[in-house]
Amino acid sequence: MHTIEQIFINGEFVTPHGTERFDLYNPATAQVIGQVRLADEVDAARAVAAAKAAFPAWSQTTKQERIAALKRMHAAVAARHDDLLEAVIEEYGAPASRSAWMASYPAEVIAQAIEALEAFEFVTPAGAATVQMTPLGVAGLITPWNSDAGFICGKLAAALAAGCTAVIKPSEMSALQTQIVTEALRDAALPPGVFNIVTGRGETVGDAISRHPDVAKISFTGSTNTGKAILRNAAESFKRVTLELGGKSPTILLDDVDLAQAIPLVIQAGFMNSGQACVAGTRILVPYSRKAEIETALAQAVAAVNSGDPRDKSTDVGPMVSEKQWQRVQGYIRKGVEEGARLLAGGEGRPEGTRDGWFVRPTLFADVNNRMAIARDEIFGPVLCVIPYRDEAEVIAIANDTDYGLSAMVLGGDADRARRVAQQIVSGRVLVNTLAHEPKAPFGGFKHSGVGREMGEWGIRAFMEPRSVLG
């Protein structure tokens, strides 16, 4: 049993003021594997005070001093790779198709921040003025359970690169990953108070951070509803806000698509991170002229996806993170049938050969229209729907007929035509015949998918404001 009794404030592990214990589960067995003691509003205030006290000195550090600190962070986090790998399997249920990346990404994203900082210009001319990019102050960083360690390291690296200090509120469901990352960051020997990590509930610690007048910036990744609450809280003190929220991403198959190349990309996009990904391509838009052919190919591919034990190397989709999330996904599968959609693969219940854990059958619906709940709501599980279209104008209209706009993918034989379609999609990122990620490019969404951008120089700028000096 894992027991986590401390949080990290002002350079040391301390016992929180909060007394609530939160059970940690292995989602593959539905068994309790540990407990974490949660911080409360008092702890959040202490962490903000520590970050505020550390800000004047840290904000005056040079670019080279920050690069040196980030390099120490990178080395310390990379050294804990194997521990992180075990944690993301045990605590999150990440299968082999995802866990190796999740264990490597926290160090990789720090390396990406170092590269962005090395090229970053803090002072630039603008006519007769000199523009100085200045750090905002204390940053509140609130991270989700679907990639806890990666989000902690990515947000913190960008904030520190900008010259901000930070208070981090990670998901209480990811306390094992948080503990490993916190120990690594401690070993990087940053000045006390520059970063503080307080694990607690969103409605207590997260709310306190988003309301605190000494917090100048909030960077949040998570649900759209929570993002709205953070925006309302932030308005009281005009906090700067970056929100990376939900998605209902379209995957567009054009009528000249090569299915041998496209189908594997469709499956990867839809089922990445066991479907628990904000960028998951869950709306598959197919031309009527090839509807039957594509549905048959997709049904065969989805039926071949292995959902089960994350420690089995053949597993593609692991369990849902919690019983609540499992129930949510089951409810949407049931709703899809009730709405008149046709099951091509999967359905309610657990996959054959699994028991106890929060496993879901990879599911594919056909006969879906864009008004159905399964086509409009972010399910956050391995559930895909096929939506037919008549022509290019209609597929663009369907793709854009959503509250979200985080990611999209266009697959087609004519690359120029595919790019032309991509340029008409209202989305923060559009992939054309690829699932590649570019860390130098900005990442974030339109509409209900969020506010602002992360990654690269945009990620650093998000923690800064320009000051113009004349004369």
User: What is the CA 469 to chain-centroid distance, rounded?
Assistant: 37
With vertex at residue 251, the alpha carbon angle to CA 354 and CA 155, rounded to the nearest 5 degrees, is: 80
Q: Could you give the CA distance from residue 331 to residue 340 in angstroms, rounded to a whole number? A: 15
What tokens does 253 get? 């198959």
DSSP bridge pairs for 431: 409
- Coil, strand, or helix at residue 158? helix
Q: How many CB atoms lie within 10 A of CB 3?
A: 10
Residue entry with tokens 């974490």: 36
Q: Could you give the CA distance from residue 443 to residue 222 in angstroms, rounded to a whole number? A: 14
DSSP bridge pairs for 223: none
Positive or negative, the CA dihedral 363, 368, 374, 377 is positive
Q: Could you give the CA distance from residue 152 to residue 457 in angstroms, rounded to a whole number? A: 18
Q: Could you give the CA distance from residue 248 to residue 380 in angstroms, rounded to a whole number? A: 9
Residue in 143, 200, 203, 209 with CA at minimum distance from that of residue 4: 200
Q: How many CA atoms lie within 13 A of 394 on its CB side?
A: 14
Q: Could you give the CA distance from residue 252 to residue 260 in angstroms, rounded to a whole number? A: 15
What tokens does 263 get? 């189908």
Q: Could you give the CA distance from residue 385 to residue 366 in angstroms, rounded to a whole number? A: 6
In the annotation, is 115 catalytic? no
138-142 and 165-169 strand pairing: parallel
Question: Quick one: three-class SS letters along 234-261?
Answer: HHCCCCEEEEECCCCCEEEECCCCCHHH
Which of 90, 244, 295, 454 is catalytic? The answer is: 244
Integer CA distances (angstroms), 340 to 33, 146, 258, 347, in order: 40, 31, 30, 14
Q: How many CB atoms lie within 10 A of CB 446?
A: 17
* Under 8 Å between Cβ of 405 and 445: yes
* Under 8 Å between Cβ of 373 and 335: yes
- Coil, strand, or helix at residue 4? strand
Q: Could you give the CA distance from residue 85 to residue 99 in angstroms, rounded to a whole number? A: 6
Q: Could you give the CA distance from residue 40 to residue 19 in angstroms, rounded to a whole number? A: 8
Active-site annotation, residues: 244
